[in-house]
């Protein structure tokens, strides 16, 4: 792929292509070729992981390390690679809380309150409370899942509990 095509490809498209190529590799009938390709991919990932780990250590050791690293992980492309190698500096919980805090004014204006109940390595549980306004439930779920999945693509699932009985008191946050 040339540089111009790579530049035009979004992160989502690149990840989808990666999934497609990985699935194609699994369909290769020659077991030795399939195993060699897997080993090559594992070696490349290991080399990249080592380089990113070292780069992370250098950044962290510098005087402006934490602030610089915060700026770096704002790039979705870089964050995706750091997640791939288990090097993202923020926990799943931190990333989800950050998105919820950023979206809170918009959601509160619509009569919605979203709280992170728990976050683990495989899934997170989020509670949604409504304050009297009706919006389609499925649309709300998709909106919240989309916002949170962007922050934590490493999770297998985001479960949304709908609390229809309680209303919440809007607070200035």
Tens digits of residue pLDDT in 105-153: 998 888 888 999 999 989 999 998 887 666 777 888 888 998 898 888 8
Read off the pLDDT of each residue in 15-43 and give the average, rounded to a whole number. 90
How many C-beta neighbours within 10 Å does residue 153 have? 16
Domains and CATH numbers, the chain: 3-84 (no CATH), 92-163 (3.30.300.130)
DSSP labels, the chain: --HHHHHHS-HHHHHHHHHHHHHHHHT-S-HHHHHHHHHHHHHHHHHHHHHHHHHHHHHHHSTTHHHHHHHHTTSHHHHHHHHHTT--SS-HHHHHHHHHHHHHHHHHHTTEEEEEEEE-SSEEEEEEEE-S----HHHHHHHHHHHHHHH-TT-SEEEEEEE-S--------
Q: Is the dihedral of CA 123, 144, 76, 6 positive or negative?
A: positive
What Å distances lie between residue 36 and 17, 22, 74, CA to CA? Answer: 20, 13, 35
The fraction of the chain above a pLDDT of 70, given in percent, is: 87
Nearest to 58 by CA among 87, 25, 81: 87
pLDDT of residue 172: 43
Confidence of residue 8 (pLDDT cuts 50, 70, 90): low
Rounded to two decimals, what is the model's pTM?
Answer: 0.66
Rounded Cα distance between 19 and 4, Å, is 22
């Amino acid at each position: 792929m040339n540089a111009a095509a790579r530049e035009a490809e979004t992160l989502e498209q690149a990840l989808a292509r990666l999934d497609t190529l990985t699935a194609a590799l699994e369909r290769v009938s020659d077991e030795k070729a399939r195993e060699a390709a897997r080993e090559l991919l594992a070696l490349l990932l290991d080399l990249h992981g080592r380089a990113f780990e070292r780069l992370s250590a250098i950044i962290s050791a510098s005087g402006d390390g934490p602030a610089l690293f915060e700026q770096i992980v704002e790039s979705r492309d870089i964050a995706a690679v750091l997640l791939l190698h288990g090097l993202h500096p923020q926990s799943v919980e931190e990333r989800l809380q950050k998105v919820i805090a950023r979206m809170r004014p918009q959601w509160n204006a619509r009569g919605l309150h979203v709280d992170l109940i728990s976050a683990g390595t495989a899934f997170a549980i989020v509670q949604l409370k409504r304050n009297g306004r009706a919006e389609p439930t499925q649309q709300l779920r998709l909106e919240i899942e989309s916002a949170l999945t962007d922050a934590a693509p490493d999770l297998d699932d985001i479960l949304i509990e709908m609390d229809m009985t309680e209303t919440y008191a809007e607070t200035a946050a």
